[in-house]
Amino acid sequence: MKIASVARALPQYRYSQQEIFEALAHHWRDKIANPAQLSRFHHRVGVDTRYLVMPFAGYVNLTRWGDANRVWLEKAEELGEEAIDLALKRAGMGRDCVSALLTVSVTGIASPSLDAHLANRMGLPATMRRTPIFGLGCVAGAAGIAQAADYVRAYPDRMAVLLSVELCSLTFQRNDLSIPNLISSGLFGDGAAAVVVAGDDVSAHGPEIVDTASSFYANTEDAMGWDISEEGFRIVLSAEVPLIIRAKLPGDVDAFLERNGLTRDDVGSWVLHTGGPKVLEAIADSLGLDRETCAASWDSLRDVGNLSSASVLLVLEEIMLNRRPAPGTWGVLAALGPGFCAQLVLLRW
């Protein structure tokens, strides 16, 4: 099983962090007691620019969750098609080669699901297996790769496409002045990414998927996620997240590597979810990784912000295209998300 290709698709509207801060400060000008606090949050999250699916003026009339969700589906189709086509092109494959399509998102919902809309829009095979996944949040990019790997393990002559579309700006809660919402307003952006995973009998030139592992941390469901109501998705983000990572992740990684006859010293490539500075620091510190080792993740955070499930896939794309390890190098792809949970993927380049 190999990752044949990865491709991103970003919206057309690109804003600096300062521009987004100024727009939100104006919106909250009569409500927020301490504008300097918002400024600190926005300028300490390590983000320089973000992409949004609409210009600032487009969000003014999105006062109802249903309206925002309709925009999500429209833009998800556009970005999804773009990402899938580029990933297929890079893999040297066509739309008719798609045997399975897995779609992940935590920023919008639809029934028929996004994969069905894309099947009609793109003329994808009617025999294609469809697997829509909602609710895994930031971990879903890595979890989706694991699910796609399971599919092609069973059908080695086939290939699967994983699509992540996260339009975080459409979940913005304009009346929520909680600390988590103020932080998330400075951290999350919009974007999509597609991954082509090929079975052993399909010609592909990407890293081999050697093993995968999931870890669920019991009784931590309040650490991260959504509080869903008639107003839409309200962010749940606990200060306990970095503590959970430091306490749990190193043991999970070591056990995962040990069952494959490896240690952390054997790993030469780390593909890490860009959860934010505190999350990245917790991952790196707990695993004994220096800043340079995690440079692709820090650079992605700076350039596009946190794209939830798509984040780790953008980091993977960057490494595959521009920072590819030497053949034979062991790699670990890791992401964390609501549950609280972790997903690990062992790669051999």
Whose CA is closest to 214, among 247, 249, 238?
Answer: 249
Q: Are 137 and 171 in contact (CB under 8 A)?
A: no
Radius of gyration of the chain measured on its C-alpha atoms: 19
Please report, to the nearest 10 degrees, the dihedral formed by the alpha carbons of residues 200, 313, 108, 30 taken in order: 180
Q: Are 199 and 157 in contact (CB under 8 A)?
A: yes
CA angle, 155 then 161 then 163, to 5°? 145
Distance between CA atoms of residues 287 and 255, nearest Å: 13
Please report, to the nearest 10 degrees, the dihedral formed by the alpha carbons of residues 103, 108, 109, 114 taken in order: -40
CA–chain centroid gap for 60, Å, is 26
Q: Does the annotation count 138 as an active-site position?
A: yes
Whose CA is closest to 196, among 148, 166, 225, 161?
Answer: 161
Find the helix or strand (DSSP H, E) in which 278 lies. Answer: helix 277-287
Cα four-point dihedral sign 209, 214, 215, 221:
positive
Q: Among residues 97, 138, 168, 341, which one is catalytic?
A: 138
Q: How many CB atoms lie within 10 A of CB 60?
A: 10
CA angle, 58 then 59 then 60, to 5°? 95
Q: Which residues are catalytic?
A: 138
